Amino acid sequence: MRFLLRRLLILLLTGWAALTLNFILPRLMPGNPIEAMLARYQGKLSPQAVGALEIAFGLNTRQSAISQYFTYFGHTLTGNFGTSISYYPTKVSTIIASSLPWTIGLVGFATIIAFVVGTALGAVAGWRRGSRLDKVAVPFSVMLSAMPVFWISLLALYFLAFRLNWFPISGGIGTSQSMSISGIGSIISHAALPAITLTLVNVGGWVLLMRNSTVSVLGEDFVKFGRSKGLPERVVAYHYAARNAILPNFTAFAMALGFVVAGAIFTEYVFSYPGIAYYLLQAVLSLDYPLIQGIFLVIVVVVLLANFLADMLYVVLDPRIRTEGRS
């Protein structure tokens, strides 16, 4: 319990820090972003757009920096991210709300499948260290994780969608379909390539991590003891080796999720998949600051929450954390 409380505290602290970072970042950059925006759009910005910028940045020049900060804080907590510039007059929160589910589905799928498959494979490879499986799995996993995700997405798009027509070329759902049960088939076929490429690129990392973790657990005394009790190999492999080897993987979860989200940026871009990462990229390329800020924040919050979930799972799996014991 104490562990979870501590993690919750870190979560809140990190969230606050990220928020502040979001506030500070544009101010650190050379030049005033609003002036830069005005210059770029050469005065075509309406007063409302400028107002949207001000809300997003908290850059109300009539206020002091401190009160700007608090205004910004207040706005953020109430979900007021202002209005998008490139998609004017749509509000940032609307864009986020409509695109977030797509990304969560994609990223969620990729993360979970990559984790499950990668960990399982890594455990077997580590258990049978030095075997042919291990000797093949390791370099193969290294290669997979060195694969640029945008490249494999491009190739998949070109060969499987464009040339072979097995999958649609872009979008989240067919234009004639609706977001309902009947549209599920279309949703899946549109999500297939992005999901597969994203998973592929992330599997390797888990394989290597779990393999190394298993190998080092196998050297522990309690594994040898488990064997010396005369237990069958698969019992030792699962209850003694794997159950212990998987623990460090949860601490690596933070990094892993970050990678998947980052990878999603590329995948959604290449496949024109209407997720939040896609819009982030559009926002960045068109310098739509309110949208950038809004999405950035949401990404951070979601990643933080996912991490907290992973922490909770960790507590369930490692009794040493759960029960304050004496050593």
- Range in contact with another protein (rule: CB under 8 A) among 43-51, 59-67, 180-188, 220-228: 220-228
Q: Tell which one of 41, 70, 162, 166 touches another protein (CB under 8 A).
A: 162
47 contacts another protein (rule: CB under 8 A): no
Phi, psi of 91 (to 5 degrees): -75, 150
- Range in contact with another protein (rule: CB under 8 A) among 20-28, 41-49, 56-64, 82-90: 20-28
Cα–Cα distance measured from residue 88 to residue 31, given in angstroms and rounded to the nearest whole number: 24
The nearer residue to another protein, 173 or 292, going by C-beta atoms, is: 292
The nearer residue to another protein, 25 or 117, going by C-beta atoms, is: 25
Q: Tell which one of 158, 166, 170, 313 touches another protein (CB under 8 A).
A: 158
Burial of 103 (0-12, 13-18, 19+ CB in 10 A): buried
- Range in contact with another protein (rule: CB under 8 A) among 41-49, 117-125, 172-180, 207-215: 207-215
265 contacts another protein (rule: CB under 8 A): yes
Tell me the number of residues near another protein by CB under 8 A: 85
Min dist. Cβ of residue 299 to another protein (A): 6
Q: Which helix (H) or strand (E) holds 193?
A: helix 184-218
The amino acid that residue 233 corresponds to is: E
State how far the alpha carbon of 273 is from the alpha carbons of 107, 176, 265, 277, in Å.
12, 16, 10, 9
For the chain, state the CA radius of gyration. 24
Q: Tell which one of 52, 114, 125, 138 touches another protein (CB under 8 A).
A: 138
Q: Tell which one of 3, 226, 312, 315 touches another protein (CB under 8 A).
A: 226
Per-residue burial over 224-240, b = 16 or more CB atoms within 10 Å of its CB, e = otherwise: eebeeeeeeeeebbeeb
